[in-house]
Amino acid sequence: MGWFFRRRQEVMVTGPQPGDIEAMADIHARSFARPWNAADIHRLLDGRGVAALVARPEGAGNGPPAGFVILREAADEGEIITIATEPASRRSGVGRALMHGAIRHLQGDRIARLFLEVSEDNAPALSLYRQLGFRRVGIRKGYYASERKDVAAPGTPKPAPSALVMELDLR
Ligand SMILES: CC(C)(COP(=O)(O)OP(=O)(O)OC[C@H]1O[C@@H](n2cnc3c(N)ncnc32)[C@H](O)[C@@H]1OP(=O)(O)O)[C@@H](O)C(=O)NCCC(=O)NCCS
């Protein structure tokens, strides 16, 4: 077994170009059990107060983005709807850069609080959010039951994971 070290890279975070939507759908499909296609993402982005940011490693040119985040704002509250990094680019700073971009965007719009939901068994995401200062403010028991493929399997089913509701004060 070998060791390798993934270098931290500079990451550019911008609004998506029209051609990025297909890549966002592709990243989503490789990151979540229930994939969204490009039409789903277009529909979402047409919603009131919804915005997206994409991330490209510096020097990667105009290739497909390595990750994206979709957020929504209403009154003085923001919400992370989804965030994902393309699997081969994980753990190199893309997710953190996207979250920083989202926070800057929301602060620019004078949003006071940012919320998100995360499965209690999603260790990478929980670690990212805790590092950014999010704290747990609620729990939705068994929320991810429908996402699990193993719930109906024979034998003793594992309890479906709960969703943790987390909040970050942006003021
Ligand atoms: C969660 C996710 C977006 C993180 O993206 P990423 O680009 O890998 O994140 P980063 O490289 O910026 O990592 C930032 C921090 O997240 C945490 N983290 C990321 N991957 C981790 C892992 N595999 N294990 C533990 N912590 C991890 C660490 O705290 C890391 O900081 P560090 O590297 O300084 O220790 C990515 O794992 C992903 O796309 N997962 C699938 C989709 C998903 O679950 N989205 C969240 C839904 S709520």
Q: Of all protein residues, whose CA lies closest to atom 12 belonging to ligand 1?
A: 93
CA-nearest of 74, 78, 83, 80 to 36 is: 83
pLDDT of residue 144: 77
pLDDT of residue 102: 98
| Segment 6-37, tens digit of pLDDT | 556 799 999 999 999 999 999 999 999 999 99
Q: Of all protein residues, whose CA lies closest to atom 1 belonging to ligand 1?
A: 125
pLDDT of residue 146: 57
| Confidence band, pLDDT 50/70/90 cuts, at residue 152 | low
User: Is 5 a residue whose pLDDT tops 60?
Assistant: no
| Segment 93-131, tens digit of pLDDT | 999 999 999 999 999 999 999 999 999 999 999 999 999
Distance 80 CA to ligand 1 centre (A): 15
Q: What percent of the chain has pLDDT over 70?
A: 88
pLDDT of residue 87: 97
Distance 136 CA to ligand 1 centre (A): 18
86 near 27, Cβ under 8 Å? yes
Distance 129 CA to ligand 1 centre (A): 9
pLDDT of residue 23: 97
Annotate the chain with three-state secondary structure: CCCCCCCCCCEEEECCCCCHHHHHHHHHHCCCCCCCCHHHHHHHHCCCCEEEEEEEECCCCCCCCCEEEEEEEECCEEEEEEEEECHHHCCCCHHHHHHHHHHHHHHHCCCCEEEEEEECCCHHHHHHHHHHCCEEEEEECCCCHHHCCCCCCCCCCCCCCCEEEEEEECC
Q: Give residue ranges with CB within 6 A of ligand 1.
A: 31, 67, 83-85, 90-96, 118, 122-125, 127-128, 131
Decide: pTM greater than 0.75.
Answer: yes
Q: Of all protein residues, whose CA lies closest to atom 33 belonging to ligand 1?
A: 91
Interval 131-146 mean pLDDT = 90
Distance 91 CA to ligand 1 centre (A): 6
pLDDT of residue 3: 43
Which residues lie below 8 Å from residue 41, measured CB to CB, with a gap of 6+?
21, 24, 25, 28, 52, 70
